[in-house]
Amino acid sequence: MTKEDAKKRAIFLKNLRAQHEETVERTQTLLKEQKAIRRQICQPMRDGPKTIPELAQITGLPGNEILWHITAMKKYDLIVEAGMCAEYYLYQRPEGVK
C-alpha cells in the first residue's frame, strides 16, 4: 500500500466512524469492558488451571459471565481445557499466549 493509499484509507475510515458514531462508541466501551474482565479472568490462571467456581470466587464475577468469556476465548484458542476437577473443567492459557 502506498503512503497516499494509506492516507486515503485513514480518511475513509474516519468518515465512516463519524457516520456510525453511536454504535462504534458503544462497541468500543463493550470491548474495553471485555478486555478488563478477561484480564481479571486470566490473571489467576498464571498459578495453574482453574475451574469456573474458583475463578468466580477469586474475581467476584458471576459464573455464567466467566463461562461465556472462557468459551469465547476457547473458540479462538486463547484458552484451553486442562482436564477436570470433580464436575468442573479446568481452564488455562495455552503455551505461548500470555
Partner 1 sequence: MTQENLHVDTLVVGGGIAGMQSALDLADQGFRVALVEKEASIGGKMIALSKVFPTLDCCSCITTPKMSAVAHHENIDLLTYCEIGAIHENGGGFVADVTKKPRYVNEADCTGCRQCEYACPIDLPNAFDMDLGAMRAIRVPFSTAVPQKAVLDIENCILCGKCEQTCPVNCIDFTQQPEQFQIEADAIVLATGFGLTPTDAKKEYGAGQLLNVVDALTVERLLAPTGPYGHVLRPSDGKEPDSIAYVQCAGSRDTTLGVEYCSRVCCMYAIKQAMLLSGALPLADITIYYMDIRTFGKGYEQFYQNARAMGIEFVKGKVARITEDDDKNPVVRVELIDEGSQIVERAHDMIVLSVGMVPGYNPQAIYGVPIDASDGFIEIPSPNIAPTVTNHEGIFATGTAVSPMDIVDSIVMAGAAAAETAAYLQSRNGHSYKLPISGSMEMEVAHV
Binding site for partner 1 (CB under 8 A): 9, 12-13, 16-17, 20, 23-24, 27-28, 30-31, 34, 51-53, 56, 63-64, 66-72, 74-76, 81, 84, 87-89
Q: Between 17 and 39, whose beta carbon lies closer to partner 1?
A: 17
**CB 86 → partner 1: shortest distance, Å?**
9
Q: How far is the CB of 1 from partner 1 (least distance, A)?
A: 9
Pair 52, 70: CB distance under 8 Å: yes
In the bound state with partner 1, the residue whose beta carbon lies nearer, of 16 and 97, is 16
3-state secondary structure of 88: strand
The alpha carbon dihedral of 79, 82, 88, 93 has a sign of negative
Residue 55: Cβ-neighbour burial (10 angstroms; 0-12, 13-18, 19+): buried
